[in-house]
């Protein structure tokens, strides 16, 4: 079996540890796997697509390559407005989300629809702060959400197909409203209850995803609320809190999926 893991050049540098684990586990499994940062020019059994570029992934699919995840997954996972619309359709509680032409009462959050990693997320408590954000981005690139107090705490659930691969509770760094681990937050292992498991499986089944992260904020009052879906999701916090190789499980999943075709 011959495959490739695709990253853009910048992300390949940031994710070197995960790439090395993928290449090691592929070698152990007898899979010929190479890192590519440009479009492939040879036949491949699969591409593990680790970029936020639905147009490119669709182009590769149309050229006959089998991608994990597919372009249709990326179009939803990398668009926070579409993610909210999906949650509404499925009846899953989510952070109220609207376009930036209809702003909620202060304080609220402005985000780009395609931002990730805690970037391009702005807490707005005044008209001037809103104007500053609108001067940086077109309003159609932004969504607005009410600020919900969660003590900068959320849960990221890692899904492999319809299986919960693992989940982590993330708490943001001091004086930050963002919970991202890569921004200095802390993480601990989290166990889902039956209702939460059912909700994340509904999401993965609805978009036919392979490997994604689903983020829920934990309000100080009430149950969790879907916030966003991450593809490609980083595995640093999962490696930190669990004692298995994410790369091995991902490659085992790919082999099984290809074998079932």
| Domain spans of the chain, in order of start | 2-75+251-259, 98-146, 149-242
Question: CA 153, CA 62: separation in Å to the nearest integer?
Answer: 40
Instruction: Write down the pLDDT at residue 179.
Output: 47
* Listed residue (214, 210, 211) closest to 226, CA to CA: 214
Average confidence score pLDDT of the chain = 93
Assign domain 2-75+251-259 one CATH number from 3.50.50.60, 3.30.43.10, 3.40.50.20, 3.40.50.1000: 3.40.50.20
Quote the tokens at residue 151. 């003590």
- Over residues 106-120, the mean pLDDT reads 90
Question: Contact at 8 Å (CB) between 85 and 119?
Answer: no
Name the residue with higher pLDDT: 37 or 260. 37
Q: Which fold has domain 149-242?
A: D-amino Acid Aminotransferase; Chain A, domain 1 (3.30.470)
Name the residue with higher pLDDT: 97 or 116. 97
Question: CA 160, CA 85: separation in Å to the nearest integer?
Answer: 22
Burial of 60 from C-beta contacts in 10 A (0-12 / 13-18 / 19+): buried
Residues facing residue 213 across a β-bridge: 158, 230
Instruction: Write down the pLDDT at residue 182.
Output: 53
pTM: 0.92
């Amino acid at each position: 079996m011959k495959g490739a893991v695709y990253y853009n050049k910048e992300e390949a540098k940031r994710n070197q540890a995960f790439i090395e684990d993928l290449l090691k586990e592929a070698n152990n499994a007898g899979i010929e796997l190479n890192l590519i940062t440009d479009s492939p020019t040879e036949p491949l059994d699969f591409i593990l697509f680790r970029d936020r570029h639905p147009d490119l992934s669709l182009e590769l699919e149309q050229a006959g390559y089998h991608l994990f995840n597919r372009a249709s997954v990326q179009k939803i996972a990398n668009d926070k407005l579409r993610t909210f619309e999906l949650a509404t359709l499925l009846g899953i509680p989510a952070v109220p989300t609207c376009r930036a032409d209809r702003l909620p009462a202060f304080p609220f959050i402005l985000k780009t629809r395609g931002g990730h990693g805690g970037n391009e997320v702005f807490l707005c408590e005044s008209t001037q702060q809103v104007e500053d954000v609108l001067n940086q981005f077109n309003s159609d690139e932004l969504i607005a959400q009410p600020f919900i107090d969660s003590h900068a705490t959320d849960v990221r659930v890692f899904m492999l197909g319809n299986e919960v691969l693992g989940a982590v509770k993330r708490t943001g760094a001091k004086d930050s409203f963002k919970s991202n681990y890569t921004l200095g937050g802390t993480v601990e292992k989290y166990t889902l209850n039956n209702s939460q498991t059912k909700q994340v499986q509904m999401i993965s089944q609805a978009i036919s995803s392979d490997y994604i992260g689903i983020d829920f904020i934990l309000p100080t009052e009430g149950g969790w609320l879907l916030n966003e879906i991450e593809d490609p999701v980083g595995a640093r916090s999962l490696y930190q809190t669990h004692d298995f190789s994410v790369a091995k499980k991902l490659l085992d999943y790919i082999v099984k999926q290809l074998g079932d075709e």
